[in-house]
Chain A
């Protein structure tokens, strides 16, 4: 897949701010566990379509913001997002980008790693979440991905039409 440029300067930042807003949007208690990992999805998206424009430092910083928002230990999500973007950049060249199955497989792998590392850190700091609820977000993220990936095209540079 050829590399696509963001539509304008700050398009990546804007999409991350939107993902951030989606992350803190209040929703019904029943659905809280099913909230997709918007920010991780955003970083995966930009890692796939625009690797040279995605910055590990930026992902790390946004992770730090999430840590101060959630009250989790400083560095947990920072490490998580850095790993998400790094794995995406690493595996991107091994995929046929037009195949949704390969994309979903990559997503599954990256999100799984991200959540597993988060779980370890939570466990070490003594906040192990109970039950399987912790993993629901993988499936909601996988389900929402095709739609999200599609609408993220709004932030891509448009091809010139005649």
Chain B
């Protein structure tokens, strides 16, 4: 009985400490790194093994075909890259003439999803890179061309990425067709976002594409986020009920691109070190 009371009190003390300020982050990180990560890795092992054997035994013809296609693709990208370089140089020159701040440069790295959150009420995944590879809290994650989410917490060898669809997540987006802004908030359901604060006078219809607006300084602007699924309006409500489907298919993505933006990643890291930057975009 006494043991129970003491443990309950410790739990409550922990919760009080952890609430809002994340004072127990070192404890959490330590537990994740030394006890949870090994179990997660073991549980994920059969999937990796299956993937590996499948690749190992795949047909030679198929592989060479894939190889040919990829080579062709590299050629296309190289050509595009060339064009991009000349444009970037021109841009730099023009900016220096205008004495404007240099444009944002970005660096990417590819990471693999290690496990999907087992908590049904939060949408996040664990990736196989952490602070050792320069991942920081608040870092933007992409899947292909589209925005995937942001880093929620990080350990030396793994990191938790919060998906766009998590209930705690919100991102400011812009309608490609009209340029009007809205807030895309996660619903906690897979592949479903809700656009909040859409006034009834706003021009919005099913099929409208939304890209990140870049407001809030966290997400880079003009990356595809979601496409409108349904627009409902109940007379008497002040806002419309707009559901959208993210461009990223969260049920199929296995690889995530982490992105570094040259200009303010250092700034974010400083905030991260002081333990203040938890939900930068909220």
Contact = CB atoms under 8 A, between A and B. Distances in A.
A82 B8 contact: yes
Given A24-B115, A69-B32, A79 B39 contact: no
Contacts, number: 110
A71 B14 contact: no
A74 to B, nearest CB: 4
Interface stretch (B17-25, B86-94, B143-151): B17-25
A83 interface: yes
B31 A64 contact: yes
Given A71-B152, A83-B8, A127-B168, A20 B39 contact: yes
Nearest to B47: A26
Interface stretch (B117-125, B215-223, B235-243): B117-125
A65 B4 contact: no
Given A24-B39, A82-B4, A33 B120 contact: yes
Contacts of A29: 190, 251
Interface range for B = 35 or more
Interface range for A = 35 or more
A69 B36 contact: yes
A79 B8 contact: yes
A107 to B, nearest CB: 20
A69 B38 CA distance: 12
Contacts of B42: 21
Contact of A75 (B18, B31, B36): B18
A106 interface: no
A121 B14 CA distance: 13
A133 B183 CA distance: 26
A25 interface: yes
B43 A75 contact: no
